[in-house]
Every structure is written in C-alpha cells, then in structure tokens.
Structure 1
Amino acid sequence: MESKRQQKFAGVLQEELAAIFQREGAAYLPNTLVTITKVRVSPDLAVAKVYLSFLNTNNTTLSVAEVNAHSSEIRYKLGARIRHQARVVPTLTFFVDDTNEYVEHMDKLFDKISKERKETDEEAE
C-alpha cells in the first residue's frame, strides 16, 4: 500500500513525464504515441517504476528497451522540471503496461464463451 506522499509524488512524476514524452517523445520513438499509464514510487522516493503504453508500434519490448536506453536523459529533463518540488530525482525504470492486451484477451474469451452458449442453446431447442 502506497502512502499519500508516494501517491502524490507519483502523480507529479506522471504529469511531468507525460509532458516530456509529448514534447520530445518523437526523438526516442518516431511515429509512436507513448502514454504513461502508471507510476509507482519506492517509500524513499528514490526509485520510480514507470509503466508505458504504446500506440502505433509493432514491438513493445523493443520500444521499452529504447526508452530505457534514454532513461538517464529523460531523468535529467525530469530533474529540470521538478527541481523545486523534490529533493531527489528518482531513478527511472520503464516497463510495458500490458493491461490493454490483457483486456483484449479477456474480451475474446468472453466472446468465445457467449458463442458456445448460443450454440448449445440452439442445439437444445
């Protein structure tokens, strides 16, 4: 369970990182829209796990690797933006947020189940 302090700081990080990716995201991943879906911060606020969602990309693993390769540059830009709000700029680690893929998978399963039920109902009649 995250404390209020962690949640508040995570919100600030999410907002500022979103602005960075909106303005300069094309330098890291051209023709790809990056969304920061979630930020988790350690209790000492020194480490941040940033979950990203990608639109218009074929390989999300490669995209995350590319963003992680630029993490020190992104951290520097983040530090310039939050220098008056935080004492320490957290170390950033980026991960793929596969929630959308999971939702699509579950939708397909539910569709399959409903089709099977319709077929068994039609056979019973």
Structure 2
Amino acid sequence: MESKRQQKFAGVIQKDLAEIFQREGMNFLPNIMVTITRVRVSPDLAIARVYLSFFNSTNNTLAVNTIKSHANEIRYKLGNRIKDQVRIVPHLEFFLDDTSEYVERMDKIFDKISKEPRQAEDSESED
C-alpha cells in the first residue's frame, strides 16, 4: 500500500515525464506516441517505476528498450523540472504496460464464450 506521500510524488513525476515525452519524445521514438500509464515510487522515493504504453508502435519491446537506453537523459530532464521540490531525483525504471493487450485478449475470450450455445441452461429451464 502506497502512502499519500508516495502517491503525490508519483503524480508529480507522471505529469512531468508526460510533458517531457510530449515535447521531446520524437527525439527518442519518431512517429510513436508514448503514454505514461502509471508511476510507482519506492517508500524512500529513490526509485520510480514508470509504466509506458505506446501508440503507433509495431514493436513495443524495442520501444521500451529505446526509452531505457535514454533513461539517464530523461532523468536529467526530469531533475531540471523537479529539483526545487525534491532532495534527490529518483532512479527511473521503465516497464511496458500491457494492460490494454490483456483487456483486448480477455474481450476476445468473452466474445467467443458468448457466441457458444448454452446447452446446460436451456435443458434445465425446460423442466
């Protein structure tokens, strides 16, 4: 369970990173839109786990690895924005947020289930 302090700090990081990716994301990933879906911060505020989602990307793993290779540059830019609010700029860890893919997969499974005939229920209701 995250404390209020962690949640507030995660919100600040998410907002500032979103602005960095919006303005300078094309330098890292041309023609790909990066969305920060969630930020989790360690209790000591030293590590920020950033979950990313990509739009218009054919290879999400490559996109995450590209962002990871620029992590120090992104951390520096983040530090310039939040230096007056924090003692240390957290180390950034980037992860792929595959929630949308999971939801899509579940929707397909539910669609398939709903299209199958309901034999057991039909025979019980006739009794």
Common fold by TM > 0.5: yes
- TM-superposition CA deviations, 1:43-91 (whole Å, max 9, x none): 0000000000000001100000000000000000000000111111000
Q: Where does 1:78-89 land on structure 2 (aligned, <5 Å)?
A: 78-89=78-89
Percent identical pairs in the alignment equals 66
Amino acid at match of 2:41: V
Tell me which structure has the larger Cα radius of gyration.
Answer: 2
Amino acid at match of 2:106: M
Instruction: Name 2:62's counterpart in structure 1.
Output: 62
Counterparts of 2:62 and 2:32, CA distance in 1: 12
Tell me how far apart the structure 2 counterparts of residues 38 and 117 of structure 1 sit (CA, whole Å).
Answer: 40
What code does the residue aligned with 2:16 have? E
Letter aligned with residue 81 of structure 1 = R
> Quick one: distance in 2 between partners of 1:117 and 1:111?
12
When the two structures are aligned, how many residues end up with a matched partner?
122
What is the DSSP-based 3-state SS (H/G/I as helix, E as strand, rest coil) of the residue aligned with 1:88?
coil
- Report what 1:95 is aligned to: 95
- Consecutive unaligned residues of structure 1, counting only runs of 5 or more, are none
Partner secondary structure for residue 77 of structure 2: helix
Aligned to 1:7: 7
Secondary structure, in 3 states, of the residue corresponding to 1:117? Answer: coil
SS of 1:89's partner is coil
Please give the alpha-carbon distance, in whole angstroms, between the structure 2 residues aligned to 1:117 and 1:50: 43
Structure 2 spans left out of the alignment, 5+ residues: none
Partner amino acid for 1:41? V
Runs of 4+ deviating beyond 6 Å: none
Q: 1:110: which partner in 2?
A: 110
Q: CA deviation at 1:117?
A: 3.1
